[in-house]
Amino acid sequence: MRGVDMSLSRMHKYLLAAGAIFGIAFGSWVIADSDTEDGDDLPTLDSIEVRASMQQPKLTLPNELTVVPVVKPGEYFVPPRLEDLTESKYADEVRLGRNIFVHTQQYAKRYVGNGLNCSSCHLQEGRKPHAAPLWAAYPMYPMYRDKSRQVVSFQERLQDCFRFSLNGIAPTLDSREIEALTVYAQWLSTGIPMGTIMSGRGFARIDKSEDPSPFNGAIVYKNYCASCHGDDLMGKKFTNRDGYMFPPLAGPDSYNKGAGMHKVKTCASFVKANMPLGKPFTLNDDEALEVCVHMFIQDRPWDPRKGMFMSIFMPVTEG
């Protein structure tokens, strides 16, 4: 019995020692936690909206999107200005690319089959957010495209623009036009790491709440679009020179049925974010979809991948 009492006494001492150690550790943890309760000493993570004070691109987790500095929090990337270019052969190529982009009818007429310019859809010289700005597009290439079912370069993407949106023929990859447009896009995206998904890329997000009605679309068009693009959707030309002041949305001088803008949802995403001109986000999602259904059913050049016969007798049934 005496041996058992000694063992119990020894165990009691061990338990007291273990309790003391646990108490010290727990007390230290409580003190440390109370000292940092306000979060002053805890590391903080930058939100995905990059701060103006950031000087280097940061990799944000968990979505692994690279964010670049902007002028102020919440603003879009600001591309460089032509006025800041120093005189050089590179600057000359940038200016040529800009001229081709803005005045495609004059500088690349041999490849164009309608009355549009690149800037008819990519507004403000390819700078405007949510109007497929070049500075947000260039860093994403090469990329896979569902349209061609293959990985394409930025230059190959430009070729498709000439074939479908401009209803023309694709310049060769080594043509002066493709080279200059590529340099212009690269210059606009100066400072953006390759592969970066930029805010303002492409067009606005759009959701369909009900089936769009072409009848309602005609009403929306008359109220918001006809004053610029004409009652017949054929656009309005300059009175003192060739070309369109407001581009045609249908007819032989508009984009063909293979263009991305012929897809109702793509068209609506553009319209929602950019139209009426100078008053973006005036139309709600349903109104944008309906006016684009109205545009979708209009006559326009056929898809060059299908030819005239298939475009007439096997038309696209959905946008």
pLDDT for 40 equals 40
The structure tokens listed for 135 are 């500075």
Q: Do strands 65-67 and 143-145 pair parallel, antiparallel, or not at all (unpaired)? A: unpaired
- Do domains 87-201 and 203-319 share one topology? The answer is yes
- Helix, strand and coil content of the chain, in percent to the nearest 5, comes to 45, 5, 50
The structure tokens listed for 313 are 């007798």
Contacts of 316 (CB under 8 A, 6+ apart): 257, 262, 303
| pTM of structure | 0.74
* SS3 assignment, position 48: coil
pLDDT for 209 equals 79
pLDDT for 4 equals 41
* Ordered DSSP codes for 252-307: TTS--TTSGGGSHHHHHHHHHHH-STT-TT-S-HHHHHHHHHHHHTS--PPPTTTH
pLDDT for 208 equals 81
> In the chain, what are the domain boundaries?
87-201, 203-319
pLDDT for 75 equals 78
Q: What is the pLDDT along the chain (319 residues), one digit of tens a residue?
A: 444 444 445 545 544 555 554 444 444 444 344 443 443 443 333 333 333 333 333 333 333 444 444 434 457 999 999 999 999 999 999 999 999 999 999 999 999 999 999 999 999 999 999 999 999 999 999 999 988 789 999 999 999 999 999 999 999 999 999 999 999 999 999 999 999 999 999 999 998 878 999 999 999 999 999 999 999 999 999 999 999 999 999 999 999 999 999 999 999 999 999 999 999 999 999 999 999 999 999 999 999 998 766 655 655 544 4
* Cα gap 288→276, rounded to integer Å: 11
Fold of 87-201: Cytochrome Bc1 Complex; Chain D, domain 2 (1.10.760)
Contact 151, 143 (CB under 8 A): yes
Query: What number of other Cβ atoms are within 10 A of residue 129's Cβ?
Result: 23
Fold of 203-319: Cytochrome Bc1 Complex; Chain D, domain 2 (1.10.760)
